[in-house]
Amino acid sequence: MSARRLVTALACTAAALFVHAAQAQTQQSAPPPNIVYILADDLGWKDVGFHGSDIKTPNIDKLAETGARLEQFYAQQMCTPTRAAFMTGRYPFRYGMQTLVIPASMNYGLPTDERLLPQALKQAGYTTALIGKWHLGHADRKFWPTQRGFDYHYGALLGEIDYYKHTVGGKTDWFKNEKVLNEKGYATTLLGDEAVRYIDRQSQQKPFFLYLAFTAPHTPFQVPQNYLDMYKSIGDANRRSYAAMVTAMDDQIGRVMAELQKRGLRDNTIVVFHSDNGGNLNPQASGETEVHGKLPADNGPYRGGKGDLYEGGTRVVSLVNWPGKIKPGVVDQMMHVVDWYPTFVKLAGGTLDKGKPLDGLDMWPTLSEGKPSPRHEVVYNIEIFRGAVREDDWKLFWRATLPSTLELYNLANDPGEKNNVAAQNPDKVDALQKRINTLGGEMQKSLLLQALFKQIMKQSVGQAPLLPNEDGFYETVD
């Protein structure tokens, strides 16, 4: 090689190394993203404009249009389990939070030996805030948000609050950093107000995690008159109020997006939106027996709703949006709410080695590069009386209470779960049933069922026992 060619080759190599180093330096110096995580409460899959609803959701629709629609995104079947799964990155059956929600009369909460997402993000240098509903423990301060990694909390500890009185069972459930807050206003609007104020306080030099958990459109069906007037054409009173509540929430989401833009934060903020479970269709199953008339949610093509392990209870409306980082379109691959924990922590530059083993998977390559989802299994839930699991396109729902039932569906062919093909596929049933049994062996006892048992036993103390008499019938013996 001539001296000139050697010099040219060395120059090209040096230039390539310089470009590579510059790119690496840019990647390393890029600030971690702000995270705005928006959760709706009991929103039906179809009850947004981008799924064909007549309910007006222009701000949610814009996020969907300019971001990724997650069309196989799963939450848990009810509020508390979903919130626990998001906070821990672990399925709720692993720590006793798998059954129903935490009632106002109970004193348990999300176990304190679980390392929560805000704790991991704080360690990575984030400011953290929960604005809205918690529902992961209220009776003891050790369970409260500001004891679990949040720097700031504004909103309710329980669920199903009165939207104007901010009460549950006649007691105020509206807090600001562990102090009861007495203020007037419509809860959805107040949460939007506070989210805007919070964003306005943030610095561009320090990333933040804002968990904005609306109580809408959960019952009671309450909404300002101006929103009701938008839906005069809807005859059913429940559906009219529900639609108005969804639009009221959408307006507040629009205000949050506008504030991010105003502060110059939008381009480095990842925004996630989804519902905590499917829309509620059965007041008996979910404890909302005070609702009169038909429940108004619409879960589209999916069977069942809130409380069910069918798709309508667990496959929820969802999207993710980050300008320039996530391409607009549809991600039609399996993802579960537990996946946000490792995805966010890795984006934040944090560490995952200090908590318990996660069920969540890092979905960032799938969301940002279109790579295949690493998730091939979804565990819908594991309880002592039922369980459901999906592996690829096959889903088994096992109702273990007598008379027990086994339902097998191929979701690729039958997303509405109309055709039980268990009889035709005994090997697949056997394999998935074994998987559910294995998971059952890893299950912790339900904290709710344990609390109910203790409550029953406590109430029975002092009562005369029932013992069998000589005829075999039970009678009270003093």
Helices and strands in the chain, H and E counts: 13, 20
- Structural contact between residues 320 and 367, judged by C-beta atoms closer than 8 angstroms: yes
CB atoms within 10 A of CB 400: 15
- Structural contact between residues 30 and 283, judged by C-beta atoms closer than 8 angstroms: no
Q: Exposed, middle or buried, 75 (CB in 10 Å: 0-12/13-18/19+)?
A: buried
**CA proximity to 287, closest of 298, 295, 296, 275:** 295
Return the exposure string of 14-49: e unless at least 16 CB atoms fall within 10 Å of the residue's CB, then b: eeeeeeeeeeeeeeeeeebbbbbbbbbbbbbbbbbb
CB half-sphere exposure, 141, CA atoms < 13 A: 6
Amino acid 314 reads: T
Q: Name the residues annotated as catalytic.
A: 79, 135
List of long-range contacts for 230-234, beta carbons under 8 Å, 24+ apart: 230/56
Report d(CA 125, CA 351) in Å as an integer: 11
Report d(CA 302, CA 428) in Å as an integer: 22
- Structural contact between residues 317 and 275, judged by C-beta atoms closer than 8 angstroms: yes
CB atoms within 10 A of CB 454: 13
Give the strands of the sheet with 127-132, arranged side by side.
179-180, 175-176, 152-155, 127-132, 208-213, 34-40, 269-275, 318-321, 68-70, 329-331
